[in-house]
Amino acid sequence: MEGKSFKNTAVIRVSLNNNPVGRLAFGTDRRCLFEYDSAWLDHGFSISPFYLPLQPGLFTARHDPFNGLFGVFSDSLPDGWGTLLIDRWLQKKGILPAVLTPLDRLALVGLNGMSALVYEPDLGPGKQPDNTDLGFLAGEASKILHDEYCNNLELLIQKGESSGGARPKVLVHLDGEDWLVKFPASTDPAGIGELEYRYSLVARKCGIIIPPTRLFEGKYFGVKRFDRKDGRKIHVHSASGLLYASFRYPSLDYTELMKAAMALTCDINEVSQVFRQMIFNVLAGNRDDHAKNFSFLFGDGRWQLSPAYDLVKSAGFNGFHSTTIAGSGDPARQDIFKVAEQTGFPLKTAALIFEEVHEGCREIRLKGW
């Protein structure tokens, strides 16, 4: 991939746990094309039920909101932090990031992505000597944030290129388990790690299903990865990619999210978890609840809501909820119950969940609630 020798990727082979899923190509109108592998059609499952049903034939992606890429594959691409890392690496090699297509970006993720999908050819930096020293990794991440020279760029890419969000983070194997550990961004308040850990404990008290969490070294918030189980990779699909809802601006309502959860899982208990998390986000002031902060996972032959994540007080889009509550970005109590009415969710159950969350998050809930 050095300098002028760079060539755009023509075809991407997609696999999941060593099983070929299909092939991706870039069409002449800058929209991606996808076709399932014949063996996957016989023994696999739809990796994106609403837009890529398990059937033969060629699928064509939309132009928006993922720059001509299918939502399920857009999920594999990094957000702010990961994109910053990979663009620095490209520039280091004399490659202009602007010349890359979405397929090139997937090839840079290669075999090193979150969730279960992997992409070949793998054009990333390659495997680096491992390092799980969190203090060291945090220091190297800080160099990147402050535009300083970093001699371990490739290591940071291996540790965190494919993870979502704007905050620096690394994927590490500690004490026999796989963790995602976050470091402070330059705009974060002091003690952000301790704050997010505290919110995770309160969320669990409110009945929200979340992964195990830890506060490493008294300051780095860590969450156990739920896309790994018993040495296997778990397929995870964000609500953003599933519903073609952009996570960069408000594009989703909890009413739509609950309806999608019912259509996908056919389980009222999964829908109930969405409703519970909505109430927590409102009462606790987590307004950065964009479409990529909700996901579904496929396991044991069925879809279910993933454990909740990114639960901490935050400003959101212009100070409003990124996912609206019955159309409101600054909701009142009646808006919460309007969501229940609009989705056919039992109002008695809704009232019970509200009281449970209201009591559970007493120590952190916003004034006026």
Share of the chain above pLDDT 90, in %: 82
Q: Which of 224, 259, 282 is the last residue of a domain?
A: 224
Question: 365 in a domain, yes or no?
Answer: no
Residue 368 in domain: no
Residue that is last in its domain, among 224, 253, 276:
224
Q: What is the pLDDT of residues 181-202, one digit of tens each?
A: 999 988 888 899 999 999 999 9
CA pair distance 148, 160, nearest whole angstrom: 18
Please give the tally of structural domains in the chain: 3
Of the residues 224, 248, 278, which one is the last residue of a structural domain? 224
Question: In this structure, is residue 173 part of a structural domain?
Answer: yes
Residue 157: DSSP 8-state: H
- Both 162 and 194 in a single domain? yes
Residue 129 lies in a domain: no
Is the pLDDT confidence value at 161 over 80? Answer: no
pLDDT at residue 164 in the model: 67
Are 253 and 206 in a shared domain? no
pLDDT per position as a tens digit, 210-258: 999 999 999 999 999 999 988 899 999 999 999 999 998 889 999 999 9
State residue 362's pLDDT score: 96
251 and 216 assigned to the same domain: no
Indicate whether 367 belongs to any domain: no
Q: CA 307, CA 311: separation in Å to the nearest integer?
A: 11
| pLDDT tens, residue by residue, 104-153 | 999 999 998 899 999 999 998 888 888 999 999 999 999 998 888 888 99
Residue 100 lies in a domain: yes
Residue among 109, 232, 238, 114 nearest 169 (CA): 114
CATH number of the domain within which 140 lies: 3.30.200
Q: Are residues 90 and 162 in the same domain?
A: no
Q: Is 28 within the bounds of a domain?
A: yes
Q: Are residues 240 and 322 in the same domain?
A: yes
Q: Are residues 209 and 253 located together in one domain of the fold? A: no
Same-domain status, 192 and 103: no
For residues 30 and 48, state if they share a domain. Answer: yes
Across 35-67, b (16+ Cβ under 10 Å) vs e yields ebbeebeeebebbbbbbbeeeeeebebeeebbb
Is the whole-model pTM more than 0.85?
A: yes
Q: Are residues 109 and 158 in the same domain?
A: no
Binning pLDDT at 50, 70 and 90, where does residue 27 land? confident
Domain holding 314, by residue range, is 233-359
Quick count: other Cβ atoms within 10 Å of Cβ 108?
26
* Phi, psi (deg, nearest 5) at residue 148: -100, 160
Q: Is 127 domain-assigned? A: no
State whether 201 and 142 are in the same domain. yes
How far is Cα 317 from Cα 248, in angstroms, rounded to an integer? Answer: 9
pLDDT in tens, 272-308: 999 999 999 999 999 999 999 999 999 989 999 999 9
- Do residues 61 and 142 share a domain? no
